[in-house]
Amino acid sequence: MRVNGLDLPDDAKKKILEKGIEKLTPPQVDAVKKGVLNFKNLVVAAPTASGKTLIAEMAFLKMILENRKKAIYIVPLRALAYEKFQDFKRYEDIGIKVAMSVGDYDSSDNWLANYDLIIVTSEKLDSLLRHNPIWLREIGLVISDEIHLLNDEGRGPTLEVVLTKLKMDVNPQIIGLSATISNAQEIAEWLDSELVVSDYRPIKLYEGVYDGEVVRFLEKKDEYIHESQEGLEGEILLALDTIKKGKQALIFLSTRRSAESLASKLERFTKNLLTEDERKKLKKLSENILTVLSHPTKQCKKLSSCVKGGVAFHHAGLPHGQRSLIEEYFRKGLIKVICATPTLAAGVDLPAFRVLIRDAKRYYSNYGYVYIPVLEYQQMAGRAGRPRYDSYGESILIAKSERESEELFNRFVLGEPEEIYSKLSVEPVLRTHVLSLINTTVRNEEQLKKFFSNTFFAYQFEDISRIEEILDRIIDRLEEQKFIKRDGNLLQPTRLGKRVSELYLDPESAYKLLNGMRVFKTGFDLLLLISSLMEISPLSVRKKDLEIMEEEILKRRDDITFEIPEEWDLEYDNFLKAFKTALVFEEWINERGENYLLDKYGITPGELNSKREIADWLLYSCEELGNLIGLREKIKIARKLRTRIKYGVKEELLNLVKLRGIGRVKARILYDAGFRRLSDLKRAPKERLGDLIGPKTAESVMKQILGEDKQKTL
């Protein structure tokens, strides 16, 4: 089936042809035959790189250009949202307005009414639906990328509730894109969908296991490693072999530390395999890596050093700017090997000739080391093989012994992916959705139970009695917390409950915030309060942290408003995690740098940025809830803390950092030079300011102060 023959507008076909696609792949042909262009629901279960995204593109091109309805594209990760946004923007020149919305969980984003294709995470879409946006009824198509994540305890329930809401309230065309799973038929039946199942890949994938001597492949001749290189770890031998072939490799490891350690080891060998031109370009990249943060940390320096040798590590602990540079230069072929944690497998599109999986087990505190799911292995293996560059790809598991080699081969290479199951009965997740439903569409217990009878959980287990028991408990608890009122069978949100739902807070967290807001006394109290909430995922406490923690707790014991558990109490470990997180925030707002925090507390810049974003949301929630219960003085503390966490400054710099272009470093320079108020800057000679903060920034500051440029960053 050729693109020119599709039932699509000519402009749409032209844009597809511009991508170099003239003929559809087998799963794409099957999707067209099963009605994707006739607005039928569809679930596509196929391997990575099989062309699933183009099926979604054909659907939204048809829906937007011919039906004049909106399309929603749901992705599991922000990184994927950015990637899809950049990719789909190419359709703007045929009249499709593309938007992305991934942050701010307290907004209906009415500006989205002006856009045709909206890319969101499932959490963001859930928060939008809670505000009942004016454009909701204009949705004609919903695409759920990575729909197999219904199986994920964290993200799955939210995705399931969002799809159920849309199915019941809007009844759009729904397209689910999935990896190969064993029970795709169940998802298709739940969504009243046609099903496309395929094992097609444009690039042949050879899967194998390395046992220390030979790579045993399933469908091709075994490959021996040169004896002259004995003594090196298998992953290093195979990575070097990949580079010598003129190819690139992705190596998946279970932890950030392992990824960094292996990258550092590899760099000592790979640097000798680079051309002079590659060395020059990588040296420039290594310098750019160091400029992403105002003061490079030891992690930045380690990454910079690795990059010089054509190797990088990639994990969530890196700042976004560094991750983007690594991805860009890997796509250009300059970075030869990336050592990554498994999140990259479900994240951005970075194919390589060879995928090496060193860690097939993951550590869980309650279980020890456990084999990863076959589905996760397949997601990683699916990154092997680059269209337009390779005729095939290789994925190789690294075994530590001949016996383990046999186990890995049978379990993963010959194994079938697991069935996926709804995780909706997890109570902490359920309660936030129950409050949301009562706040938006549900008016009584019968309607609530009817909603849950339409979920994937109900379809899969054919019995929601387990959920009904949990629902009864949740309703009682929400009434006790004064988030809902019950009048016979009638359920209504209180003013407080409505706001908690809109703020996208777990009701238990909101209840804890409300009680804490009433009694806290100091800024550190408030930092400790928000750091104790599950939303922030408090930092783990290392053995070497304990001495610092115990000393600080002893010093502050009389100043902390909240009760401190005794060391033998079960709650003590959680308190330590919250206390450490609060200490990190306090150090940050007292202008400690990323390198200091990394050295002292082990928190990476990427992790710090993530925690600061969540803290900003929780402190904003404190302001909003404080307003409802009349805590004006407490709100002032929350507002100041929010700005200080945003910029990482002491209170004395708050006025200066409000100026656009003035961050924590330049604000401190100005303050220490005697420019402590905006009035001081107004009288300052421009040349003097230019010497301190640079001529361009000085000019911008003067325009803002004199009112010529009224835009300010607040």
Q: What pLDDT sits at residue 712?
A: 41
Q: Residues 235, 160: one domain?
A: no
DSSP one-letter string for 297-342: -HHHHHHHHHHHTTEEEE-TTS-HHHHHHHHHHHHTT---EEEE-G
Do 643 and 533 share a structural domain? yes
Using only C-alpha atoms, the chain has a radius of gyration, in whole angstroms, of 27
Number of domains present in the structure of the chain: 5
Residue that terminates a domain, selected from 464, 492, 520: 492
**101 phi and psi, to 5 degrees?**
-140, 110
| Mean pLDDT of the region 619-641 | 94
One domain, residues 536 and 626 = yes
Q: Is 271 found in the same domain as 382?
A: yes
Domain identity same for 189 and 62: yes
Average pLDDT over residues 507-517: 96
* Same domain, residue pair 329 and 381: yes
pLDDT at 228 over 70: no
Task: Answer with the one of 648, 676, 695 that is the final residue of a domain.
Answer: 648
The whole-number average pLDDT for the span 665-678 is 92
Say if 550 falls within a structural domain: yes
Q: Judging by beta carbons within 10 Å of its beta carbon (0-12, 13-18, 19+), is residue 281 exposed, middle or buried?
A: middle
Residues 196/188, Cβ–Cβ less than 8 Å: no
Same domain for 315 and 212: yes
Q: What is the pLDDT of residues 96-148, one digit of tens each?
A: 999 999 877 777 788 999 999 999 999 999 999 998 888 999 999 999 999 99
Domain assignment present for 466: yes
Q: Is residue 623 part of a domain?
A: yes
Is 499 among the domain residues?
Answer: no
We report the CATH number of the domain holding residue 321 as: 3.40.50.300
| Residue of 700, 555, 494, 578 whose CA lies nearest to 710 | 700
**Domain carrying residue 129:** 3-197
The confidence score (pLDDT) of residue 12 equals: 94
Asked whether the predicted pLDDT for residue 282 surpasses 90, the reply is yes
Q: Quote the tokens at residue 272.
A: 């000798």
**Of 402, 384, 400, the residue nearest 392 (C-alpha):** 384
Phi, psi for residue 617 in degrees, rounded to 5? -65, -45
* Cα 97 to Cα 414: distance, rounded to the nearest angstrom: 45
| CA within 13 Å, CB half, 275 | 6
Statement: residue 229 has pLDDT above 60: no
Q: Does 420 fall in a domain? A: no
Determine the Cα–Cα distance for residues 510 and 497; give it in Å rounded to an integer.
9
Is residue 511 located within the same domain as residue 470?
Answer: no
Taking 90 as the threshold, does the pLDDT of residue 578 lie above it? yes
Residue 545 lies in a domain: yes
pLDDT tens per residue across span 612-622: 999 999 999 99
- 511 and 394 in a common domain: no
- At 714 the pLDDT is 33
Residue 491: Cβ-neighbour burial (10 angstroms; 0-12, 13-18, 19+): buried
**pLDDT surpasses 90 at 363:** no
Shared domain check, 293 and 217: yes
Among 197, 228, 244, identify where a domain stops: 197
* pLDDT reported for residue 368: 81
Residue 344 has pLDDT above 80, yes or no: no
Is position 713 within any domain?
A: no
Give the CATH number for residue 692. 1.10.150.20
pLDDT of residue 462: 85
Kindly report the number of other CB atoms within 10 A of residue 304's CB atom: 21
Contact present, 491 and 443 (Cβ < 8 Å): yes
Per the domain annotation, does 500 fall within a domain? Answer: no
Residue 230 is predicted with a pLDDT of: 54
**223 token code pair:** 């490959």
Cβ atoms of residues 347 and 80 within 8 Å: yes
**274 and 376 co-located in one domain:** yes
Instruction: Determine how β-strand 490-493 pairs with β-strand 368-371.
Output: unpaired
Q: For the chain, percent helix, then strand, then coil, each to nearest 5?
A: 55, 15, 30
Domain of 593, CATH number, reads 1.10.3380.20
Q: Which CATH number do you get for residue 432? A: 1.10.10.10
Element (H, E) at 174: strand 173-178
Q: Are residues 371 and 474 in the same domain?
A: no
Mean model confidence pLDDT for the chain? 92
